Structures are given as structure tokens and as C-alpha cells.
Amino acid sequence: MKKTLLAAALIVGFAGVAQAETSVTMYGILDTGYGYSNAKFDKNGVVIKSTASGLRGDGVFNGNRWGVRGSEDLGNGLRAIFNLEAGFDIGNGKQAQSSSTTNSDRLFGRQAWLGLASDNWGTLTMGRQYNVGTATTYANNMGVSMGDMDKTFGGLGLGNRMDNSFKYMTPSFSGFQFGVAYGNEVTTVNRVETAAGTAGFGANNGDRSNWVSTGLKYANGPINVAASYDRASNTLDNATTNWTITGSYDFEVVKLALGFGQDRYGKLGWGNQSGSVANANTPLGAYSLGNDFKSSNYYVGLSAPVGTGTLAATWNRSSSNLDDADKWGDDAKAQNIYHLNYSYPLSKRTKVYAYGSYGTGIAYIDGLKAREAGIGLNHQF
């Protein structure tokens, strides 16, 4: 009997050690509800309207997702870590982050990375992952709604994920943390060597693109400050760049968040956005990479507890040089988006919310306005 009890105790003990050393967790967010949106272009006698209403399958506060993350203790403060995360539309069950033809086969479109983490040396991860700017931003982001920062700031979109990338984040030193990431895409180079010389053949013949992302953040009690810089080169003459500074301060009664940044030769993440005015931003990709494009972006966010819920308001503005005579002339205008939402928790993991947004000069097009409103339910597991 004593031997049996001892054996049972040892088995339980070993099981406890294994559980402490290795962990795998499944998680997810489900977000849906009713939404209404419309976009209207009205200028010089030309009126174009577009209206949509019904179930928001893409989510509002958060994009719908499920994922698996885990870690294994390797000893001496070192851990092996991974994260696989897939997005989906809860309305039809289809995959998200895979709207284009080339990306239609993504299994884990949100994140797919493997790496090592050390308490002393920081974290190195490899795969498809968020750029550093997304990880260091301090603002009242609103998921995939029109009021989110990624509809204005090129380097901070939640859709700014880097394929084939390496990312390193330092440990926190007295509230300071630094990060840097690098990702690239290289096409196959086919070459033929003859006595007459060397020639390339086949698609693209070695066109190369790369993306460098870096950022620094400071967090100490109610104060949060962050700065980021991204540079993405491609086959064009000029690389797309973005730099941004954001900060927030929690006054307890109200939380204030501010942001400012600039884009050059395009806006990272634009042309691949979700939300009620997703396609309104797409035309920018056709002309912003040329003509020495430049935009200045501004953000103001306020949030405060109201009852047991939270009321939040944001203003995003982006002005550009597209109104120069050599570019779009008087057809261009600064983009302004105003957003208001209220969320009410039903439990620690479930909340209901209502929201509304109004924007003018969408995608810098004079005469293009957009509105959205809706209610929804958000559950995290």
C-alpha cells in the first residue's frame, strides 16, 4: 500500500513538473453584431453612393481569430516560444488576411512564428509577425472600424504584418524597451552564362523587397511613450517610410492618448484594410508611391469610465501634398475621421458595445465622405 501511494505521488509530481515546464494554450476572440455603413462622393455634379448593412462578420473591437501559443522552459531563464493565429469572418466562416489571390492559401494569416525568449537577453522570433510599430503604439485603437489608427497612420496598422521576418525585442530596462525587425521577399533568379555574357530570364528576374521596422517604448505607471520607424523597399525607385510618436497618460478620471507621424512614398498597409470603408483607401496605392508623396498624421484619443462601462472618442487626421498642382490639384483633401464608442462588460470575457464614425476626405479624395454605426458582442476565450 505504501509503495502504491509513493508511486502515485511520484507520477503526480512528474506530471506537475512537465506542466510547469511546457505549456500550450488555445485562445481566441469572437466579435460580431449589426453594422451600417455608407460612402458618398459628391463633387462637380457627380454623385456616387454605396451603402451596406447587416452582420459584421469581420469584427469591430477586435478582428475574429483563434490561435495556439506555447512555451517550453529550456533552463537558465531561456524558453522556446511559438504563436500560430488565424483570422476568420464569423459571418461566413471564411479565412481572413487572405483576400488577394497570392495570399488565398494562408492558414495562419494573423501570426505564425517561432522563437526564443530570455529573461536577461530578450526575445527573438521568426516568421510572420507584427511590425515593431504595432507592438509599441499607445493609443485607443478600435480593431477594424473606420476609427482605428490604421485608416490614417501608415506604420501602425493592425494589418502590418511582416512575412519572412526576424524580430528582436529587448527586456524592459526601468520601463524602456527597444525592438528591431527585418523581413524580405526574394524572387528566384534564373541566369544563363554563355561566352557572350550573362543574362537573366523568367518572371521578375530577381526583384527584391525588404522591410526594416524599429521602435522604442517607455512605460511607467500612468505614462506611456513610444516612437517607431518603418522602411519598406520594393521594385520602385523610392522606399515607403513611416515614423510615428505616440503617448498616453492615465488621469484615472480620463485617459488621454496622442500621436503624430509622417509617411513618404506611400502608406504601409493601405490597400489591404478591413472595415466599412476598406475599398475607399485602395486607390491611394495607385498614385501615392510616386510624385514624392508625403502625409502628416495626427491622432487624439480620450477614454473615460461611465458607469461600469467605458466611453471612448477619437479623432484621426491626415493631410498630404496631393493637393499640389502637379499631383491631384483641387481634387485632393485632408482626411478627417471622428469616432465614438461605448463598451459595457457583461463579464471579464464578454462585453457589448455601440459605435459610430464619420469621415471626410477619405483616401484624400475631395468630396468622398463615409459613415458607420452599429452594435455588437465581443467574447474572448
Residue 265: predicted pLDDT? 84
Phi-psi region of 74 (alpha: psi -120 to 50; beta: other; left: phi over 0): alpha
Return the domain boundaries, the chain. Answer: 24-380
The contacts of residue 75 (CB under 8 Å, 6+ apart) are none
Fold of 24-380: Porin (2.40.160)
Residue for cell digits 526583384?
Answer: 207
- Host H or E run for residue 287: helix 284-287
pLDDT value for 121 = 96
Distance, CA of 239 to CA of 247 (rounded, Å): 27
Cβ neighbours around 102 below 10 Å, total: 7
CB 262 within 8 A of CB 240: no
pTM, two decimals, is 0.82
- Cell representation of residue 123: 526575445
Cβ atoms of 357 and 341 closer than 8 Å: no
In the DSSP assignment, the letter for residue 332 is B
Q: Residue with C-alpha cell 541566369?
A: 191
CA atoms within 13 A on the CB side of 118: 8
- The three cell numbers of residue 277 are 470603408
pLDDT, position 200: 40
SS3 363: helix
Tell me the three state secondary structure of residue 326.
coil
DSSP letter for each residue of 69-120: EEEEEEETTEEEEEEEEEEB-TTT--BSS--SSTTTT-SS-SEEEEEEEETT
DSSP for 210-225 reads: EEEEEEEEEEETTEEE
Sign of the CA dihedral running 92, 96, 101, 106? negative
Q: In degrees rounded to 5, what are phi and psi of residue 186? A: -125, 125
Classified as helix, coil or strand, 173 is strand
Please name which of 125, 149, 114, 130 lies closest in space to residue 65, comparing C-alpha atoms.
130
In this predicted structure, what is the pLDDT of residue 213? 94
Q: What is the pLDDT along the chain (381 residues), one digit of tens a residue?
A: 555 554 444 444 444 444 458 899 999 999 999 999 999 999 888 899 999 999 999 889 899 999 999 999 999 999 999 999 999 999 999 988 764 445 567 899 999 999 999 999 999 999 999 999 887 777 666 666 788 887 888 766 445 789 999 999 999 999 999 999 999 865 444 444 545 444 443 444 444 578 999 999 999 999 999 999 999 886 667 788 889 999 999 999 999 999 999 998 888 776 443 333 333 333 334 344 455 788 999 999 999 999 999 999 999 999 988 876 666 666 788 999 999 999 999 999 999 999 999 999 998 889 999 999 999 999 999
